[in-house]
Each structure stands twice: as C-alpha cells, then as structure tokens.
Amino acid sequence: MIASILFCISIVTLGQFAIYYWRATIANISTQQVSDRVRIAAGIPTPSVRSRDFRAILNVLELTPTLKGDADGYRAVRAYYLVVEKIGRLIPAVTEWAEGEMDMCSRYMAVLVDQRLDRNMECATRLRGI
C-alpha cells in the first residue's frame, strides 16, 4: 500500500517537473529575436510580437513547408495557448497572467517560424550549388 502511494506521488511529481521544464524551454526560446521577415509575412506592424498575433503567425507557419517532418511539435503550444486563453476569459483575476503566457506562446511560434525559414533558405542555397 505504501509503495503504491509513493509510486503515485513520484509519478505526479515527475509530471509536474516535466511541465515546468517544457514551459521553461518555451520561455527561453521565446526570448530570441524575431526577424523582420516573419513580422512582415504575418502582417505584424509592431516591433514586438503579442498574443493577438498568434493566429497570423500560425497562418505563416502553415504556408512554410517543413523539411524535418516536425509538424506535430506545435500542437502542444497551440493547445496551451487555447487553454490559457479560455482560463483568461473565464477568470478575470488571471487575465494579466494569461495575456503574458499567450504573448510568450506567440513569440515562441514566431521564433520557430523564423528558424524554419532559415532552414528552408539554407536548403535552397545548397540545392542551387549542386
């Protein structure tokens, strides 16, 4: 009985650690600079990417082909964005926190689109050299 309780507590703690690590990774990547080409392609007039720009960035993401086959890697961030958006609408006390989290998700996706465009340009350059 005690062993099963310890096992359950360990699983919950490990899951909590995994979520914190995943969120810290997203926060770290979202601090990188977003290039002008991504902002222009998404139609973002301001120098910083905000939460309202998330859907425009997703549109650019869908237009850029992937060379690695990692299209499923963005589902978790999309789901997190939608969950935080719903929480922010339902609970007015956490609206500011939710806006910050959605900003982070938008910047993260913009950085990933920028990296994808860089990889595509690099591949095109190599192909031209062949």
Phi-psi region of 11 (alpha: psi -120 to 50; beta: other; left: phi over 0): alpha
Per-residue pLDDT of the chain (130 residues; tens, 9 = 90+): 899 999 999 999 999 999 999 999 999 999 999 888 888 888 988 888 898 999 999 888 888 777 665 665 688 899 999 999 999 999 999 999 999 999 999 999 999 888 888 888 888 888 887 6
Copy the structure tokens of residue 100: 């910050």
With H, G, I as helix, E, B as strand and everything else as coil, classify residue 48: coil
Containing structural domain, residue 95: 2-129
The total domain count for the chain is 1
Burial of 42 (0-12, 13-18, 19+ CB in 10 A): buried
- pTM to 2 decimals? 0.85
Predicted confidence (pLDDT) per residue in 80-110, tens digit: 999 999 999 999 999 999 999 999 999 999 9
